[in-house]
Amino acid sequence: MDNINFSKEELERYSRHLIIPEFNIEGQRKLKAAKVLVVGTGGLGSPLLLYLTAAGVGNIGILDFDRVDETNLQRQVLFTVDDVGRPKVEAAKERLEKLNPHVNFTTYDVQLTSANALEIIKDYDVVADGTDNFPTRYLVNDACVILGKPNVYASIFRFEGQVSVFNHQFKDGTFGPHYRDLFPTPPPPGLVPSCAEGGVIGVLPGIVGSLQANEVIKVISGVGEPLAGRLFLFDALTFETRTLKLHKDPNTPKIEKLIDYEQFCGIGGDAKEEKKVKEISVQELYDMQVKGEDYQLIDVREPYEYEIANLGGELIPLKMVTSNIDKISSSKKVVVHCRSGARSAQAIEALKRKYGFDNLYNLKGGILAWADEIDQEMAKY
C-alpha cells in the first residue's frame, strides 16, 4: 500500500477524509487501490457510483445493459434529459469522469449472466449489487461466494429499503452469511412486483444507495463495523429503522457452480407457461381498431396507472379479475393488457384455470409496447 501516492490535487480533494483520525491517509490509500464493481446504474447505482467516485475509489467497474429512459429520471440522478436513449454505462462514465478525473472506469454494456459473471467479478475486490430482480441477485451472490468476494447488497421498494454486507471475510478468515442464508429460495414469480410495477418514491434509492456506498467504503478501508451478519431496514414513510441479526444457515447448500437463475427463480418456467397464453401484438390490436372489429379490451392495472395513460379499455385490476367474470365477454375476442404483459398473462391464466375462458388474448408488451410502436406521444411510466 506504500506505493500508492497522491498528487497535490488529490490531497486537497480528499482533505476532509485525511483529517479523520480513524480514516486518515491510510484509509484513502486503500480506497485508491481498490477495485469495486457496481452492478446496475439505476436508482441504487446512481448514488453508489457518485459517492464512490467522489470518495476516490481508484478503480470502478460499471455494469449495465440498459438504456436511459425518461421514467428513470425521477430517481436515477446520475442521468439528465440529454442522456435519454444512450447506453447507461456510457452516460454514467462520462458524468463520473467529470466528477473525479483521478478514478479509472471500466464499463460493461452487457447483461450479467452465468456465462460471464465469474470472469468479470474475479478482477474486483468488492461487488456492490444495485440490481432490481431476483435472478441477478442470486447470480451476484453465488459468484461472490465462489470467488470469495464481499457483496454489498441493497434493495428498494415503494417506501422501504434494506442494506447488508454478504459474504464478508472476518479477520479470523471465516465468512459471514450471504444472500441465500437470508433468502434460501426466491418468492413465487409475480408475488413481489418490481419497482417498475410497484413503484418507488424517488428519494428512497438516494438514501439507501448512499448507505450502500458507506458500507463499500467501510469494507475497503477496514474502518468501523460493516453490516456483515446484519440486515438494516429503513421505512421512509414512518422514518423507522431496524437492524436484524443474520446467521449462516447450516442447511444452505454449498455453492460450487453457477446455474440457470431464470429457471431457479421460476421465470424460465413462467415463460413456457406464457406460451400457452394466446397473444396479439400492438400492431394487430391497432389493425383491429382501424377495421372496426368487435372485441373487448380489459385493463388489469391499478386505477392510478390507468389515470396516467390508458387505451380506453375497461379497468378491472388483476386482484379483482376472477370476481368480475360477469363483466368479461365469453362470446367475442377479449384482449387483456397491463403495463408490460406480465400481469395480463397472469389474469388470463387465472380465468382459464378457474372458468375455462378460451377467448382471451394477451397484449404482448402491454401499454409500453403501444407507446413505443403505435403512439409515441403516450406517457410511459
Name the H helices within 45-87.
45-55
Give me the active site residues, please: 195, 338
Q: CA 260 from chain center: how many Å? A: 18
> Shortest CA distance to 146 belongs to which of 120, 170, 164?
120
> Shortest CA distance to 147 belongs to which of 262, 255, 292?
255
Measure the CA–CA gap between 52 and 44, rounded to whole angstroms: 12
Phi/psi region, residue 11 (left: phi>0; alpha: psi -120 to 50; beta: rest), is alpha
Helices first, then strands: H and E counts in the chain: 16, 13
> Shortest CA distance to 154 belongs to which of 37, 91, 234, 229?
234
Measure the CA–CA gap between 165 and 181, rounded to whole angstroms: 12
380, burial (CB in 10 Å: exposed 0-12, middle 13-18, buried 19+): middle
Please tell me the total number of residues recorded for the chain in this structure: 381
Measure the CA–CA gap between 223 and 217, rounded to whole angstroms: 8
The cell for 110 is: 452487457
Measure the CA–CA gap between 155 and 140, rounded to whole angstroms: 13
Measure the CA–CA gap between 303 and 309, rounded to whole angstroms: 10
CB 45, CB 78: distance < 8 Å: yes
The cell for 131 is: 440490481
